[in-house]
C-alpha cells in the first residue's frame, strides 16, 4: 500500500498525533490536508512531550518530507513559531523537508478578531471555537476573497487583496460588532516579513505528491479533528469549518481518489468532546471525573477541560462508513484500568422510545437521545507494559474484540500508554493488502 489516510472517528483528540508519529517511521511523506492551528497533536518520545499545531506529526523523523496541503488554512506567525521552536529543540531533523502549498489560504488578523467577536455575541449559544480564526478564513476561501500563499509572495497582489479585505472586515468589526478596526499598514508590514521567512518553504505540493506517487513512495495523510466535527457529516452546527473525513485527503492535498489505498480510523477507548454540542454518553459523575484526570483530558490547543464519557460505537460506526475505514487504532485503553464495569453505547433511544443505531442529523433530536449500553467486566491489571494482544487481560481483550465486532472493522493497533513504545501493533498499514 502506498497511500494511507489517518482520521479521527469521534470528536477529535483521539490520539492521531501518536499514531501518525508511529506510522511515519515507514512513510516517506506525511501530509496535513485540512484544518489549521485549531488542531493539537501531542507526541511523547522518550518521555519528552512535543505539541504540534500545524506541522505534520512526522516531523520528528529524519529524512522525511512533511507537507501542509492546499486544504489547510495557515497562520504564518504560528507556523514560523513552530518551526523555530522545533529547530531550537533539535526536533527538526536536518534531512527532513517541509513544504507549504502555494494554494493554502492564510489566516489573517481580522479572521481571529471576527472569530472572537462572533463567539462573544452568541453568548451561551456559542459554538466553542478555538478563536484561532479558522472559520472566518474558510469563509473567505469559499467566498473567493481569501488570500493564499501564492498571493503573499507577490507583494503588489497581496497589497491589493489585503486592502479590499481590510475595508470589508472593518465594516463588520465597527458597524456590526462595535469593535476597533484593523490597520492595513500594520498587517501589510507584518505579513511581508512572514513572506520573507517562509518563501523557501512554499511549493506546488500537489506536483510534489504526484511525483512521489509515481515513484511508489509511502505517503501518510494526517487528518485533524474528528469525523463528527466534519462540516458535512458532523454534529452540525457544533463542528469545525472543514471536511475532516478521509475523502478530503484527495481534495485537500491534490491527489486523485484512486491513489488512496487504506484508511486508519483512530478511536479513543472512551469518548471526549471539547466545546458545546450534544454528547449522549457524557459522564458528569465520579467515573467521568476519573477518566478526565487519569487521561489528562485537556485540549492541546486551548487547554480547556474535555468532556468525557463512555465509548459511543454509534459515532464510530458512522465514521467508519463515511471515511471508508479499513483498520481501527484504539488509543488510551490504559485509562480504563481499574474501572469495575465498563460500558459501550450500542445505540440511542429517542424521546418517543424508538431505538436507532445511527447518528440523527438533527441536533435537537440527538440532544434528546438516551444511550443504550452494553456492560462489560473491567480489568484491574496494569497493561502499560503489554506489547502483544495475547498478553492483555481476558476482559481487556474482550473489550477490544467488541469494538471490532460492533464497528465491523479490524483493530490493527492498541495504545496502552502515551509513549511511542507503549503500543501493541497487530498490523502495519503500509503492509496491508488493498481492500
The answer to whether domain 105-201 has CATH 2.40.10.10 is no
Confidence of residue 325 (pLDDT cuts 50, 70, 90): very high
Q: Is 216 left (phi over 0), alpha (psi -120 to 50) or beta?
A: left
Q: Are 323 and 263 in contact (CB under 8 A)?
A: yes
Confidence of residue 302 (pLDDT cuts 50, 70, 90): low
Q: What is the per-residue pLDDT for 60?
A: 85
- Dist CA 58 CA 389 (whole Å): 26
| Percent of the chain at pLDDT exceeding 90 | 81
pLDDT reading at 435 higher than 50? no
pLDDT reading at 300 higher than 70? no
Asked about 41 being catalytic, the answer comes back as yes
Domain ranges of the chain: 3-98+204-431, 105-201
Q: What is the value of pTM for the model shown?
A: 0.92
Residue 305: DSSP 8-state? B
Q: Which of 13, 28, 115, 230 is catalytic?
A: 13
Q: Which three cell numbers stand for residue 215?
A: 515513484
Helix (H) or strand (E) holding 156: helix 155-171
Phi and psi torsions of 153, nearest 5°: -80, -10
Confidence of residue 50 (pLDDT cuts 50, 70, 90): confident
Confidence of residue 395 (pLDDT cuts 50, 70, 90): very high
* Average pLDDT value over all residues in the chain: 93
Q: Are 16 and 39 in contact (CB under 8 A)?
A: no
Q: What is the per-residue pLDDT for 275?
A: 85
Q: What is the per-residue pLDDT for 394?
A: 97
- Dist CA 287 CA 325 (whole Å): 30
Model pLDDT for residues 77-92, shown as the tens digit of each residue: 999 999 999 998 888 8
Confidence of residue 57 (pLDDT cuts 50, 70, 90): confident
Cis ω on the peptide bond leading into residue 65 (within 30° of 0)?
Answer: no
Helix (H) or strand (E) holding 139: helix 134-142
pLDDT reading at 103 higher than 60? yes
Q: Hey, what CATH class is 3-98+204-431 in? A: alpha beta
Confidence of residue 285 (pLDDT cuts 50, 70, 90): very high
Model pLDDT for residues 207-260, shown as the tens digit of each residue: 999 999 999 999 999 999 999 999 999 999 999 999 999 999 999 999 999 999
Q: Are 38 and 240 in contact (CB under 8 A)?
A: yes
Model pLDDT for residues 163-216, shown as the tens digit of each residue: 999 999 999 999 999 999 999 999 999 999 999 999 999 999 999 999 999 999
Asked about 318 being catalytic, the answer comes back as no
Lowest mean pLDDT among 128-132, 151-155, 191-195, 401-405: 128-132
pLDDT reading at 124 higher than 80? no
Q: What is the per-residue pLDDT for 1?
A: 65
Q: Which three cell numbers stand for residue 81?
A: 513559531
Q: Are 212 and 219 in contact (CB under 8 A)?
A: yes
pLDDT reading at 403 higher than 60? yes
Q: Across residues 419-429, what is the average pLDDT?
A: 93
Q: Count the neighbouring beta carbons within 10 Å of the beta carbon of residue 49.
A: 10
Q: Are 300 and 15 in contact (CB under 8 A)?
A: no
Q: Which of 21, 28, 41, 115 is catalytic?
A: 41
Confidence of residue 106 (pLDDT cuts 50, 70, 90): very high
pLDDT reading at 379 higher than 60? yes
Q: Across residues 388-408, what is the average pLDDT?
A: 97
Amino acid at each position: 500500500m502506498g497511500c494511507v489516510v489517518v482520521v479521527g472517528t469521534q470528536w477529535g483528540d483521539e490520539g492521531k498525533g501518536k499514531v501518525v508519529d508511529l506510522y511515519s517511521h515507514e512513510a516517506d511523506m506525511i501530509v496535513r490536508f485540512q484544518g489549521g492551528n485549531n488542531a493539537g497533536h501531542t507526541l511523547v518520545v522518550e518521555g519528552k512531550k512535543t505539541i504540534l499545531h500545524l506541522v505534520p506529526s512526522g516531523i520528528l523523523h529524519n529524512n522525511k518530507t512533511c507537507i501542509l496541503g492546499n486544504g489547510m488554512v495557515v497562520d504564518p506567525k504560528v507556523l514560523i513559531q513552530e518551526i523555530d521552536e522545533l529547530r531550537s529543540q533539535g526536533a527538526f531533523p536536518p534531512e527532513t523537508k517541509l513544504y507549504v502549498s502555494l494554494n493554502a489560504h492564510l489566516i489573517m488578523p481580522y479572521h481571529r478578531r471576527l472569530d472572537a467577536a462572533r463567539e462573544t455575541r452568541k453568548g451561551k449559544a456559542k459554538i466553542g471555537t478555538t478563536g484561532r480564526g479558522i472559520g472566518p478564513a474558510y469563509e473567505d476561501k469559499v467566498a473567493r476573497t481569501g488570500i493564499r500563499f501564492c498571493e503573499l509572495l507577490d507583494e503588489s497582489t497581496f497589497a491589493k487583496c489585503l486592502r479590499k479585505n481590510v475595508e470589508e472586515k472593518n465594516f463588520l468589526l465597527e458597524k456590526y460588532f462595535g469593535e476597533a478596526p484593523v490597520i492595513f499598514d500594520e498587517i501589510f508590514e507584518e505579513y511581508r516579513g512572514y513572506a520573507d521567512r517562509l518563501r523557501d518553504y512554499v511549493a506546488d505540493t500537489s506536483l510534489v505528491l504526484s511525483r512521489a506517487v509515481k515513484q511508489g513512495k509511502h505517503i501518510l495523510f494526517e487528518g485533524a479533528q474528528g469525523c463528527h466535527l466534519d462540516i458535512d457529516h458532523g454534529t452540525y452546527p457544533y463542528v469545525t469549518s472543514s471536511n475532516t473525513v478521509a475523502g478530503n485527503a484527495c481534495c485537500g492535498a491534490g491527489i486523485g481518489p484512486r491513489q488512496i489505498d487504506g484508511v486508519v480510523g483512530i478511536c479513543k477507548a472512551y469518548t471526549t468532546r471539547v466545546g458545546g454540542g450534544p454528547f449522549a454518553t457524557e459522564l458528569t459523575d465520579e467515573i467521568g471525573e476519573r477518566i478526565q484526570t487519569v487521561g489528562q483530558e485537556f485540549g492541546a490547543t486551548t487547554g480547556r477541560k474535555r468532556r468525557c464519557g463512555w465509548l459511543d460505537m454509534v459515532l464510530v460506526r458512522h465514521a467508519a462508513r463515511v471515511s471508508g475505514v479499513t483498520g481501527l487504532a484504539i488509543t488510551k485503553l490504559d485509562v480504563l484500568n481499574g474501572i469495575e464495569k465498563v460500558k459501550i453505547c450500542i445505540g440511542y433511544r429517542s424521546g418517543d422510545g424508538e431505538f436507532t443505531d445511527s447518528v440523527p442529523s438533527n441536533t435537537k433530536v440527538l440532544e434528546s437521545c438516551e444511550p443504550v449500553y452494553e456492560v462489560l467486566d473491567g480489568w484491574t491489571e496494569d497493561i502499560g507494559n503489554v506489547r502483544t494482544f495475547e498478553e492483555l487481560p481476558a476482559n481487556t481483550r474482550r473489550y477490544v474484540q467488541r469494538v471490532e465486532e460492533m464497528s465491523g472493522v479490524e483493530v490493527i493497533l492498541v495504545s496502552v500508554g502515551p509513549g511511542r513504545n507503549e503500543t501493541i501493533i497487530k498490523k502495519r498499514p503500509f503492509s496491508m493488502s488493498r481492500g
